[in-house]
A and B are shown apart, each in its own frame.
Chain A
Amino acid sequence: MRKYIAKRLAQVVVILFFILTVLFVLFRLAPGDPVSRMVDPEMTPEDAQHLIEQLGLDEPIWKQYLIYLKNFASGEFGYSIHYGEPVARVIWDKLPNTILLFTTAVLLSAMVGISWGKIAAWKKGKGADIGMTIAALVTHTLFLPWLALLLVWVFAYQLDWFPITGMVSEEVFLDPDAGFWAKAVDVGYHMVLPLATLFLIHFGSYLLVMRSSMLETLKEDYIVLARAKGLSDRAIRNKHAAPNAWLPVVTSVGLSLAFSINGGALTETVFSWPGIGRELVFAVSQNDYPLAQASFLLIATVVLFSNVVVDVLYAFLDPRIRY
């Protein structure tokens, strides 16, 4: 097991190296250059040239590549061109917001999707199954920005139950008397609509995967044996069928947890949620190379690691799998 994990981590390092190279090439191929954003009309050509030299952009491309690799290997991500702050700092500021929203959304939709999928399979063909399956199919195929805007329009604009955008209210966070709980409640209140959007879009896929996996499991001989043993329906469903059915669901939950770091650019943009996803879109449109590169690298790293975690988790869920 330990040997297997070590092997997988070594693979991750190799793949990351490839991703770094691809990122480097892609950014050099992208149109536009960062300096043109920083140059203002009053600068002389000499000033602009000086800036280019300062940033190392006049070096030959292979040398830039080596510097780039060296910096990443030593954990040096550079300064954001737009913010003028260290990239690590910018990411570090936004990351918790994204993790909060997306981890909650993934876990909530996974829990609901799995338990409803289990019941839908158990009651296959009955009203509850048909209702849940249709609900899952409909919400799963909705276009996310449309749903987000619809929720904002109905619940924030028309009914005025929830704030339209943002993550905090200034009056709460600037109030020196506001304690932790007051702030937590305020964030939770802002989170309702983005969370509802993500939940509605995602729970359906978990529900459908769990339902079909559960239907396969219910055909197995050990389910007949469990029934023959006179076990209650509840024990058959929860102890015998579900633990065999949720392996495929774990894969999709594990992979979507990767998004809890990447964030969703669309959701974060619609709700002005100050997270990584929105920052990434911004960095790309501003030709902020260091910030964009570091964000992409973060996404790649998280996806690679969650794959390893899912594989290791398999061994715990299914005793037949040993590495």
Chain B
Amino acid sequence: MALLKVENLSIGYRTAGGMLKAVDGVNLSLEEGRSLGLVGESGCGKTTIGMALMGLLPPNGSITGGRIVLDGVEISALDEEELRKVRWSQVAMIFQAAMNALNPVIRVSAQMTEAIRTHRPDMDEQAIMQRVEGLFNLVGLPLERLHDFPHQYSGGMKQRAIIAMALALNPKLIIADEPTTALDVIVQDQILKETKVLQEQFDIGIIFISHDISIVAEVCHDIGVMYAGQLVEAGPAQEVFFNSKHPYTRALVGSFPTLAGPKSKLTPIPGEPPNLIGAIPGCRFCDRCPKDTASCKLEPPKWQEINERHWVLCDHC
């Protein structure tokens, strides 16, 4: 049985202009210990899916269709109190740490113990502290910095502290939302490698949200490419990256520079994503698509299987 199943999930935000369909009919599936990268540009709905998995949609957002099943439990049907128990103990989240993910007025140690204490009221203080120290060792943070305040940490240390925090309760699933975006490349690389080792060691399922398809291809087993609230291409990471079919995925692959390999011109994607308020009858990418045909605008595209487990939402690929 899959660890996580997202079936036909739709999420809308109530806005002044009407209902904004941030996520529209997305299907995802993740096995235990596997990692899935969600890629796409800002506003494509990847973070919204991450928040929905934790039951943390903002007040004006709601699940309008479909369901989320984690380890046999339907997350999308839980009430607030039940969700509170699932959060962090079953699904943890790694935030972009260089932003303000750690509370500036609370010591790092207290922010870590608090997560454990909330979910394991039976554990005594000594055991909690031991656990926190173990986690610090695990992510390679020096123990003498345990009681520091967050501002005394470097960006990389903050990120490690947040990873340690995410591992605190042995969650089955971790959602990593742009976890290394604000770090410099060397620290980013170290942290990604260490995260991968930890993930394999503890058999955790990871949803890795990023705008950078090359990083995701390196770190994750599978990739799902999102565009304007829909999944447009999905499959094994290497397959999707090197054998991309959807014109949007190809454009994404082409819009990041490579250090190795021949020098080539970066190709930006022309145009803007469509407005998600109101109905869009045809393919959402057709305005920016080089393969655009008359039928694309009128008929919604259908899923095509390219190779084993490699699917694309395009009629002309």
Q: 1/0 per position for B109-126, CB-CB distance to A under 8 A?
A: 000001100110000000
Q: A227-B87, A228-B88 are in contact. Are A318 and B56 (CB under 8 A)?
A: no
| A229→B115 contact, CB < 8 A | yes
Q: 1/0 per position for B67-90, CB-CB distance to A under 8 A?
A: 000000000000000011111110
Q: A319-B149, A320-B149 are in contact. Are A228 and B104 (CB under 8 A)?
A: no
Q: Report the Cα distance A240→B87, complex, angstroms.
A: 17
Q: State which residues 93-120 of B face A: CB under 8 Å.
A: 93, 95-96, 99-106, 114-115, 118-119
Q: Report the Cα distance A244→B162, complex, angstroms.
A: 20
**A232 interface hit (Cβ, 8 Å):** yes
| A228→B103 contact, CB < 8 A | no
| A228→B56 contact, CB < 8 A | yes
Q: A228-B54, A229-B115, A231-B118 are in contact. Are A244 and B88 (CB under 8 A)?
A: no
Which residues of B have CB within 8 Å of A227?
A: 56, 87
| A243→B105 contact, CB < 8 A | yes
Q: A224-B95, A225-B93, A319-B151 are in contact. Are A232 and B105 (CB under 8 A)?
A: no
| B101→A221 contact, CB < 8 A | yes
Q: A229-B118, A230-B88 are in contact. Are A222 and B104 (CB under 8 A)?
A: yes
Q: State which residues 292-320 of A face B: CB under 8 Å.
A: 317-320
Which residues of A have CB within 8 Å of B36?
A: none
| A230→B119 contact, CB < 8 A | yes
Closest chain-A Cβ to B40's Cβ sits at a distance in Å of 20
Q: Report the Cα distance A320→B56, complex, angstroms.
A: 29
Closest chain-A Cβ to B116's Cβ sits at a distance in Å of 10
Q: Report the Cα distance A222→B114, complex, angstroms.
A: 13
**B92 interface hit (Cβ, 8 Å):** yes
**A220 interface hit (Cβ, 8 Å):** yes
Closest chain-A Cβ to B135's Cβ sits at a distance in Å of 14
Number of interface residues of B (CB under 8 A): 29
Which residues of B have CB within 8 Å of A240?
A: 103, 106
Of listed A221, A228, A232, residue having the most chain B CB within 10 A? A228
Which residues of A have CB within 8 Å of B96?
A: 221
Which residues of A have CB within 8 Å of B106?
A: 239-240, 243
Closest chain-B Cβ to A270's Cβ sits at a distance in Å of 41
Closest chain-A Cβ to B244's Cβ sits at a distance in Å of 32
| A244→B104 contact, CB < 8 A | yes
> Which residue of chain B has its CB nearest to the CB of A231?
B118
Closest chain-B Cβ to A249's Cβ sits at a distance in Å of 14
Of listed A220, A224, A244, residue having the most chain B CB within 10 A? A224
| A222→B89 contact, CB < 8 A | no
| B149→A221 contact, CB < 8 A | no
Measuring CB to CB, which residues of chain A are less than 8 angstroms from any residue of chain B? Answer: 220-222, 224-232, 235, 239-240, 243-244, 317-320
Sample of 19 more A-B contacts, CB < 8 Å, known A226-B103, A319-B105: A221-B95, A221-B101, A222-B102, A224-B95, A224-B101, A225-B101, A228-B54, A228-B88, A229-B87, A230-B83, A230-B84, A230-B118, A230-B119, A231-B84, A231-B115, A239-B106, A319-B149, A320-B104, A320-B149
The 7 closest A-B pairs by CB, nearest first: A230-B87, A222-B103, A319-B149, A221-B100, A229-B115, A228-B93, A221-B101
